[in-house]
Amino acid sequence: MTKLLTPALILMTSLALAQGPKLDGDYKAIEGKVVEWRRDIHQNPELSNREFNTAEKVAAHLRSLGIEVQTGVAHTGVVGVLKGNHPGKVVGLRADMDALPVTERNDLPFKSNVTAEFLGQEVGVMHACGHDTHVAILMGVAEVLSKNKNKIKGTVKFIFQPAEEGPPPGEEGGALLMVKEGVLKNPDVDAIFGLHINSQTPIGVIRYKSGGAMAAAQSFTINVKGKQSHGSQPWSGVDPILISAKIIDGLQTIISRETNLTNEAAVITVGKITSGVRFNIIPESAEMIGTIRTLDYDMRAHINKRMEEMVPTIARAYGGEATIEILNATDITYNEPKLVKQMLPTLKRVAGEANVQTEKARTGAEDFSYFQNEIPGFFISLGGMAAGTTESFPHHTPDFKIDDTGLLLGVRAMTEMSLDYLNK
Ligand SMILES: [Zn+2]
Ligand SMILES: [Zn+2]
């Protein structure tokens, strides 16, 4: 009898894993609500570090589910802790909540007409990056999981994050501040999952990249000092504009001649030069600001070191002086390869094998990376482009649009990644 039961039991267990946790009824019950929440949040967008009403809605929802809630984390962040019925590890799930200073341009019934003040200007406010969908998806995941505590071996921490797009100048915020305030501690989070909707990926599709998936963003400021003179007599001065041109040229050779671009992409961009007042004056100084994008920690270290060496050296070669300051803005969104491998069967089960696709690295940045600096994490792309269309608009633009029939897949992916991670 025992001999017969053992293989049967093994078969049942592997079938259960292959079939997933059987939550179809719960998903069906939540689908309409997720779309409703998303449209409500879309119509009422709030800028970074100003997500007051969004946070209130999230907190009220989590409380109604019996989830322990902490508010005011990193200004407006909301953290919910759901303990399963069985002891185990802790998984974190993150959704960012902020909108952008963009004026929405479409005829959707839930279009935003909200305006707000941003850096002293009155601007339109729009969920032009799709963070409204992230909030609604995670609210849905919280509802499904809170109804299935008996299936949870461990704890789920829901992290609703403010200011992913960056806090306003002079303020702290975003994932970095949440980490500083201890969001990954007490209970200590073992792994974290997050997703980003994508307006140019078809609904039903999940894309991912193992390793460096999105770039580290750094900003730099270069100050060049020359010697002012009459524009007709350059020999009596030192031209900071010419030195700036040589520096830009030199910096681009770090990318084109010194960086192994077959490993990962890397970018240096000078975005602004300020110098001079008049056509016939060689000015005293010049300032340049720009950005560095990297997908590999060693490549970033090399590029930074060479920029710091090259800038003052080039200036000296032409008789001037220059300094460079490099600041970290966002780290590498690094998907821990072991965790990716572990979670792929789950993604393939919820989306179907053909709908789980690898993607190339992106030189855009995402502050989810600050969580991944601390613990293993996996950040996926979720399709938001309507079926049968080829028309899609990029993120951060007034025409940006997401088809919310694809959101349930996000709920299923996050729910089942959590359960499979905790219960394996
Ligand atoms: Zn964005
Ligand atoms: Zn975004």
Within 203-284, strands assigned E span 206-208, 211-214, 216-225, 229-230, 266-275, 281-282
First to last CA, the chain: 27
Residue 98 annotated to the active site: yes
395 Cα: distance to centroid of ligand 1 (angstroms) = 6
128 Cα: distance to centroid of ligand 1 (angstroms) = 7
290 Cα: distance to centroid of ligand 2 (angstroms) = 21
Q: Which-ligand-closest: CA of 367?
A: 2
172 contact partners, CB below 8 Å, separation of at least 6: 74, 180
Give yes or no for residue 20 having a pLDDT over 50. yes
Residue in the structure block whose two tokens are 């960086």: 259
326 Cα: distance to centroid of ligand 2 (angstroms) = 24
Confirm if 18 and 349 have CB atoms less than 8 A apart: yes
Predicted local distance difference test score (pLDDT) of residue 3? 44
Mean pLDDT of the chain: 95
Give yes or no for residue 377 having a pLDDT over 90. yes
* Catalytic residue (choose from 46, 51, 98, 416): 98
Confidence of residue 18 (pLDDT cuts 50, 70, 90): low
- What residues flank ion ligand 2 with Cβ within 5 A? 129
Confidence of residue 21 (pLDDT cuts 50, 70, 90): confident
What is each CA distance from 70 to 59, 143, 167, 205, in whole angstroms? Answer: 8, 17, 21, 33
Give yes or no for residue 413 having a pLDDT over 80. yes
Average the pLDDT over 47-73 and give the result.
98
Give yes or no for residue 17 having a pLDDT over 60. no
Over the stretch 144-173, which tens digit does the pLDDT of each residue have? 999 999 999 999 999 999 999 999 989 999
Confirm if 416 and 351 have CB atoms less than 8 A apart: no
- Give me the DSSP letters along 6-35: HHHHHHHHHHHHHH-S--HHHHHHHHHHHH
- Rounded Cα gap, residues 254 and 252, in angstroms: 5
265 Cα: distance to centroid of ligand 1 (angstroms) = 20
Query: Does the CA dihedral 383-384-389-395 come out positive or negative?
Result: negative
331 Cα: distance to centroid of ligand 1 (angstroms) = 15
Closest CA to 168 of 223, 121, 128: 121
- Rounded Cα gap, residues 334 and 299, in angstroms: 14
Over the stretch 249-269, which tens digit does the pLDDT of each residue have? 999 999 999 999 999 999 999
Confirm if 304 and 287 have CB atoms less than 8 A apart: no
Confidence of residue 289 (pLDDT cuts 50, 70, 90): very high
Written as six digits, the tokens of 99 are 């909108």
181 Cα: distance to centroid of ligand 2 (angstroms) = 22
136 Cα: distance to centroid of ligand 2 (angstroms) = 14
- Rounded Cα gap, residues 249 and 89, in angstroms: 51
Predicted local distance difference test score (pLDDT) of residue 4? 46
**Position 234: which residue type?**
P
- Rounded Cα gap, residues 131 and 217, in angstroms: 20
Q: Which-ligand-closest: CA of 368?
A: 2
Predicted local distance difference test score (pLDDT) of residue 424? 84
- Rounded Cα gap, residues 92 and 10, in angstroms: 30
* Catalytic residue (choose from 51, 96, 164, 239): 164
What value, to the nearest 5°, has the Cα angle with vertex 208 and ends 202 and 212? 140
37 Cα: distance to centroid of ligand 2 (angstroms) = 18
- Give me the DSSP letters along 190-221: SEEEEEEEEEEEETT-EEE-SEEEE-EEEEEE
Residue 96 annotated to the active site: no
Cα atoms found within 13 Å of the Cα of residue 246, Cβ hemisphere only: 19
Over the stretch 185-234, which tens digit does the pLDDT of each residue have? 999 999 999 999 999 999 999 999 999 999 999 999 999 999 999 999 99
